[in-house]
Amino acid sequence: MLIGELAERAGTSTRTLRYYEAHGLVRPQRSANGYRVYDEAELRVVREIRALLDVGFGLDDVRPFVACLRAGNASGDVCPDSVLVLRRKLAEVDDYLDRLTAVRQQLRTQLTHAIANREETCSRRRPSAP
């Protein structure tokens, strides 16, 4: 399988695949003419990468999962390093959820205040009383 076919089957672009390779995540063979050649295993690797990126992982976070797949496991998340990353990411998400919830609360408060103190004199009027 060449890079174009892999890109299509993985639902991504050739540019992306070369990018992953440049960052050490995908290792294709090379045919005599220098073309990248991929097998089915690499397809699963790419799909794992995509799935994790979609969830908000960075490329570095993805590495353990790829290594786990390469080690012959059916799933990329059953290895200790993957579990560590999963835990860390879960904690990060929890953190972010907290902050986002606080922000939401502040926005609601602000919005309430804004509506209570509505002013239409915003466009181009005098600063104080008319």
Partner DNA sequence: CCTTGCCTTGACGCTGACGACAAGGTTTAG
Partner DNA sequence: CTAAACCTTGTCGTCAGCGTCAAGGCAAGG
In the bound state with DNA, the residue whose beta carbon lies nearer, of 36 and 48, is: 36
Cβ neighbour number for residue 44 with a 10 Å cutoff: 16
Give the x-and-dash track for 85-104 against a second copy (CB under 8 A). -xx-xx--xx-xx--xx-xx
Q: Which stretch binds a second copy (CB under 8 A): 9-17, 26-34, 42-50, 70-78?
A: 70-78
Say how far apart CA 85 and CA 62 lie, in whole Å.
9
- Name residue, tokens 């076919």: 5
**Under rule CB under 8 A, residue 124 binds a second copy:** yes
Say how far apart CA 32 and CA 14 lie, in whole Å.
20
Can you say whether the dihedral through the CA atoms of 37, 41, 43, 48 is positive or negative? negative
Q: Within 42-71, which residues bind DNA (CB under 7 A)?
A: 53, 57-60
Q: Which of 9, 14, 43, 77 binds DNA (CB under 7 A)?
A: 14
Say how far apart CA 58 and CA 77 lie, in whole Å.
15
How many residues belong to the site for a second copy (CB under 8 A)? 47
**Under rule CB under 8 A, residue 56 binds a second copy:** yes
Cα separations in angstroms, 118 against 23, 111, 129, 130: 53, 10, 15, 16
**Under rule CB under 7 A, residue 16 binds DNA:** yes
Task: Kindly list the residues in this chain that would bind a second copy in the complex (CB under 8 A).
Answer: 55-56, 67-68, 71-73, 75, 77-83, 86-87, 89-90, 93-94, 96-97, 100-101, 103-104, 106-108, 110-111, 113-115, 117-128
